[in-house]
Structure 1
Amino acid sequence: MRTIGVIPSRWSSVRFPGKSLAMICGKPLVRWVVEASLRAESLDEVIVATDDERIADAVGNSGARVVMTSPGHPSGTDRVAEAADAGDDDIVVNIQGDEPLIAPELIDAVASKLAGDDFYDMSTACTPIRAAEDLLSPTVVKVVLDSNDGALYFSRLPIPFRRDGEQDLSSGLYMRHIGIYGYRGAFLKKMVAEPPCLLEQTESLEQLRAMWIGG
């Protein structure tokens, strides 16, 4: 079994074309993500999955392997699946290419959740919501957890809804989703083979497809 970190990175961002190569303190954004990923103790390999030679050149001799992927992928998850080419028992961690401050410890935590527990096929991360504006913002994705820290649902709306009175942010119920994902190889293949489900299309949240198919 291998644990593979994959950083999907593309040029054609709708809101910020070329974002992966935006310079931050003298280095392209993607290099910051690569360097943080290489410090994660759980990863056997770090791959940058891209369809653009400019991004491949920026990764250079950083220590990550570049895999040139199809330009036609509908999502970063599809790009990750192609680049990882994982075995069924491998663990693949999808590390967002626009998170220069990603903590290696967070990557390790997402990977170790699968390595240490056969019950789940997919893992992710969240953190408590502290500010009311974050709870109300549709750009902040919320997740509700069960007693074993399994995700019950993700939404852009404030969940769980409190019928009587305002939501109590000190309750520990209100969690902000962090966009990093771990997959078992077999489940990643299953997920990208499935079409988007109605819940995913409604909320515009790809992780709802994983829940729809039993992840």
Structure 2
Amino acid sequence: MKIISMIPARYSATRFPGKLMQDLGGKTVIMRTYEATVGTNLFDDVFVVTDSEIIFNEVVNNGGKAIMSIKEHDCGSDRIAEAVENMDIDIVINVQGDEPFTDKESLSKLIDAFKNDSDKKIDLASLMVHITDEEEINNPNTVKVILDNFNFALYFSRSPIPYHRDKSVSVKYYKHKGVYAFRKQAILDFYNLPMLTLEATEKLEQLRYLEYGKRIKMIETNVEGVEIDTPEDLERAKKLWK
């Protein structure tokens, strides 16, 4: 299988504009993420895909590979789909540009899911982390996922799912980490299918796959890392980097 990584990168993030160009230990966040992804040695190629000349120039001028988006896109999956449409690849892994602590172990698990999928039942795979903190479980910015008995996603929500009505039943909550691995055809299908009600309601692009019957294999990881969504997250990342 030919496996590449794409790092979708927007400059104008809603909660923290310009976050990918912030300094993290002497390099920008986007370069830290790019170098961490390349450093796993898991991929045939790694690209940053962006609509920003600032980010494009930052990556290219520092020896990285970047692709400029041709069209306007609402989400990272659309940006990646446009970029890979004419590439000869089998699997593309979407690493978020604001995750400079991307680790090899978690990405290896995603790749192994496809290598072991001889019947091709998996359209895409993604990561999840077991969470126990009540505040995090109830936080709408923490996306939760529930699973079937074979660890395929049943639903993603900003609400705490499942609702713990019967307290005598033990429940585990999982937070979805926005790292995806796609079969090429799955992401091209996503690109060509219109948004439906659930995705529009929750503002979660992964729901489009479920609404159209795609199967998402969830892989548990113990690596939390730091997603840089706010200035406070950046300060946490700086301390962790030190």
TM over 0.5: yes
SS of 2:46 mapped into structure 1: strand
Using the size of structure 2 for normalisation, the TM-score is 0.81
Paired position in structure 1 for 2:116: 116
**Per chain length, whose mean CA-contact separation is higher, i.e. which structure has more relative contact order (CA < 8 Å, sep 6+)?**
2
Q: CA shift at 1:105, angstroms?
A: 2.0
SS of 1:159 mapped into structure 2: coil
1:136–1:158 Cα contact (<8 Å) kept: yes
Give me the whole-angstrom Cα distance separating, in 1, the residues matched to 2:168 and 2:205: 29
Using the size of structure 1 for normalisation, the TM-score is 0.91
1:129–1:135 Cα contact (<8 Å) kept: yes
Give me the whole-angstrom Cα distance separating, in 2, the residues matched to 1:180 and 1:167: 30
Size of the aligned set, in residue pairs, is 212
The one-letter code of the counterpart of 2:175 is R
Give me the whole-angstrom Cα distance separating, in 2, the residues matched to 1:58 and 1:8: 14
Paired position in structure 2 for 1:56: 56
The superposition leaves residues 76-126 of structure 1 with CA deviations (integer Å, 9 ceiling, x where unpaired) of: 111111222365861011111111112122222222212321210111010
The superposition leaves residues 173-202 of structure 1 with CA deviations (integer Å, 9 ceiling, x where unpaired) of: 211111111110011100111111101111
Paired position in structure 2 for 1:106: 106
Give the alignment's Cα RMSD to 1 decimal.
Answer: 1.9
SS of 2:209 mapped into structure 1: helix
Give me the whole-angstrom Cα distance separating, in 2, the residues matched to 1:42 and 1:119: 22
Q: Which moved more, 1:15-24 or 1:110-119?
A: 110-119
Q: CA shift at 1:41, angstroms?
A: 3.4
Give me the whole-angstrom Cα distance separating, in 1, the residues matched to 2:84 and 2:73: 14
Paired position in structure 1 for 2:208: 209
Give me the whole-angstrom Cα distance separating, in 2, the residues matched to 1:10 and 1:100: 15
| Aligned 1:79-98 pairs, distance under 5 A | 79-85=79-85, 90-98=90-98
Quote the sequence identity (%). Answer: 38
- Residue 14 (structure 2) pairs with residue 17 (structure 1): no
SS of 2:166 mapped into structure 1: coil
Give me the whole-angstrom Cα distance separating, in 2, the residues matched to 1:206 and 1:93: 16
Give me the whole-angstrom Cα distance separating, in 2, the residues matched to 1:211 and 1:89: 23
Give me the whole-angstrom Cα distance separating, in 2, the residues matched to 1:147 and 1:102: 28
Q: Which moved more, 1:189-198 or 1:60-69?
A: 60-69
